[in-house]
Amino acid sequence: MNTKKIIIAAITLFIGVALLSFKGDDRNFKIAKNLDLFNSIFKELDLFYVDTIDAEKMIQNGINGMLALTDPYTEYYPEEEVGSLKEMITGKYGGIGAAIRYYEANNRIVVVEPTEGMPAAEVGVKAGDIILEVGGKEMLRGDMKPQEFSSKVSDALRGEPGTSFVLKVLRPMQKDSVEMEFKITRRNIRTNPVPYYGLVRDSIGYIALQSFTDNCAKDFKKAFIELKQKGAKSLVIDLRDNGGGSLAEAVDIVGLFVPKGQQVVYTKGKLKQADNSFKTKYEPVDTEIPLVVLVNGASASASEILSGSLQDLDRAVIVGSRTYGKGLVQTTRPLPYNGTLKVTTSKYYIPSGRCIQAIDYSKKNADGSVARTPDSLTNVFHTAIGREVRDGGGIRPDIEVKSAKFPNIIFYLMNDDIIFDYATQYCWTHQAPESVEAFKLTDDDYSAFMALVKSRDFTYDRQSEKMLKSLKEMAEFEGYMDGAKEEFAALEKKLNHNLDRDLKTFEKQIREYLSQEVITRYFYQRGAAMERLKDDEYLEEAVKILHNMADYKKILSVAEIK
């Protein structure tokens, strides 16, 4: 028997012994059996399949399939992607400080927004600049997918702090586009978790918190103390569209408003080491100042810890719409070959004892889909003074705000870069406004936007037309069409595609997105946050309640049991 056969026989014997040893433990036996099957199937394919297989891609797809049976937050990061995980956790990276994305019109990558105070903005790079070369290397898409192309350019722009390169861009101008070059030195870039704070109405302070990255509690505390020094007598914390981040940072922010030693959140998992309790560690800044927290359906994870714990402790009034419902905690585990697994290890519970996780990923439908926990199956818990709150479906606000629905047309205007291009063109013909407050789109400006839309032969998918077509097909199939022809004809006439009408019907919402895109060109994210507050239903509801302390106290009382 040759050496190869001896090795194969030895391996077979080892696996056989291992499988037999697991026979007494059915679960471990099944695990060992299936790992052996996976290994054997791959080897057989690699040896006998008619074409050469891409081994790395095949195994990666196997890993992805395995992770798909868990939840969306459990992810594998190979060595080359670990940096993006660290950036997500810390909010820091070495680069130029500019958001970029694929720009279909030129088949290139465009600068979406330079970050205020960062290298790209300091040397004069502007939103709308089309990237041609990075460090002398032309940035061409070739046969890459848009996402792959964006990643390639992003990797080229990033690097060790202190290193320099020349960025060549094409700047669209009113008449002719101009090629420009900028020498940029990379720096440590940290995304700003607090893009804007200020006094919004009389003595009401406002802080927009857009992420829970490392040390964001220090940024928040600095903003809060500064607002108090300026005369803030109450505070609005805006967590809308904040997808979360560090649990510990959320606890530290809660600690600014409640006594030291207060339990804010605890975690429970399958393993004992996943169980933990998080209490406030420092003396608070102010335990009396009236608080309102703004949330919406995109407020998740750490945002729900912050808003939910303040609700459970009867420390703040929550205003807005129900939050996302992510009550899961992830930790990172090192893997061979410098990979990392981000894995859900526990669920978190806020002071009332509730977990706000809205989806049970362990109970999937036959098609692999999952559903939110219905309200009928949620449980009642109680806040510190006895108000009723529920688990299993995000944080339900004390005061609900029903904001206008996102019009379908705006999605397509943004997706086709028309709103982005209009903002670029606006800057050609308008001087920078003196302030965000002084800025306003005129009727002539909106007319110019409508002209741009029409010049692009813009079309968009109208869901009402799709549904009407499906209804007609079903009516014909079931034999109802003969008696309903006139009604269908009348409905078709009303639902016909009319661009002028739709641009007028949704003018208010379109203007809001146009204004935010334009003002960002002049005042960055700080300006965008201020522009959003000009006509903000959520903020107006917060101001209303903070101007009426009787109502504020009534909400935070047992009489408000629901």
> What residues are labeled active site?
301, 312, 326
Q: Give the burial class of 502: count Cβ atoms within 10 A of its Cβ; 0-12 exposed, 13-18 middle, 19 or more buried.
A: middle
Contacts of 284 (CB under 8 A, 6+ apart): 255, 256, 257, 258, 259, 260
Phi, psi at residue 51, to the nearest 5°? -110, 160
Among 448, 458, 402, residue whose Cα is nearest residue 424: 448
Please state, in angstroms and rounded to a whole number, the distance separating the CA atoms of residues 93 and 325: 29
Please state, in angstroms and rounded to a whole number, the distance separating the CA atoms of residues 307 and 356: 11
Q: Say if residues 399 and 321 touch (Cβ distance below 8 Å).
A: no
Among 454, 457, 455, 468, residue whose Cα is nearest residue 496: 468
Q: What angle do CA 127, 132, 135 make, to 5 degrees?
A: 105
DSSP state of 396: P
User: Residue-wise over 258-280: b if at least 16 C-beta within 10 A, else e?
Assistant: beeebbbbbbebeeeeeeeebeb
Contacts of 242 (CB under 8 A, 6+ apart): 209, 210, 211, 212, 298, 299, 300, 302, 303
Please state, in angstroms and rounded to a whole number, the distance separating the CA atoms of residues 471 and 127: 44
CA separation (Å) from 537 to 287, 352, 549, 554?
27, 29, 19, 22
Number of alpha carbons in the 13 Å side-chain half-sphere of residue 18: 14
Number of alpha carbons in the 13 Å side-chain half-sphere of residue 381: 23
The token pair at 101 is: 């994305």
DSSP state of 23: T
Work out the number of other CB atoms within 10 angstroms of the CB of residue 282.
11
